Amino acid sequence: MPKVTWILKDGRKITADVAVGHNLMEAAVANNVPNVIGECGGCLSCATCHVYVDAAWYEKAGHPDDMERDMLEITAAERKPNSRLSCQIKATDALDGIVLHVPEI
C-alpha cells in the first residue's frame, strides 16, 4: 500500500498507508488530518480538501482538470501553483511516499 505523509503547518507529520484507489481526501479524514474536511465526500463540490502537493511530487500527482481548477479559486487558504483538491488524487503505487502540505484555515 502506498504511504502518504501530510505535513501540518506546525511541522507535525502524519503518515499512513492508503489503499490503492482511495482518494487522498478520504485517506486524510480516515487518519484525522486536521483541516482536511471533505464536506462533499469527494465529488468536487466543496474545496474543503485543499492541500499543497510537495514540489517533488507535483508532476507525479497529475494536473487538475478544468472543474478542479475552477474550484481551486475558492479554497479557504491561499491558492498556490501546487494547490490541489486532494479528493481528486487517487492513491497508486506510483505515489508511494507522496508528501502533502496542509494549509492552515
Partner 1 sequence: MDPIIVVGAGQAGVALAAKLRALGYDGPLLLIGQEPVLPYQRPPLSKKYILGELALDRLLIRPPGWYEEQKVECRLSTRVAHLDPAAKTVSLDDGTDLRYSKLALATGASPLVLPAPIGGKLEGVLRIRSLADADRLAPLLQPGKKLLVIGGGYIGLEAAAVARMKGLEVTLIEKAERILQRVAAPLTSDYFRALHGWHGVSIREAVTLERLEGTEGRLTGARLADGTRIEADLAIVGIGVLPDKGLAIRADLDVDDGIIVDGQCRTSDPDIFAAGDCTSFPWRGERIRLESVGNAIEQAEHAAACMLGETKDYDPVPWFWSDQYDVKLQIAGFHRGYTDTVLRPGKREQSQSVWYYRGEALVAVDAMNDALAYGIGKKVLEARRSIPKAAAADPAVELKTWLTAS
- By the criterion CB under 6 A, which residues form the site for ligand FES? 25, 38-40, 42, 44-49, 85, 87
Closest residue to ligand FES, judged by C-beta, is 87
Q: Which of 17, 41, 104, 105 binds partner 1 (CB under 8 A)?
A: 41
* Least distance in angstroms from the C-beta of 58 to partner 1: 21
* Least distance in angstroms from the C-beta of 7 to ligand FES: 19
CB proximity list for 14: less than 8 A, separation 6 or greater: 5, 6, 8, 31, 32, 33
Please give the single-letter amino acid code of residue 1. M
Cα–Cα dist 34/56, whole Å: 23
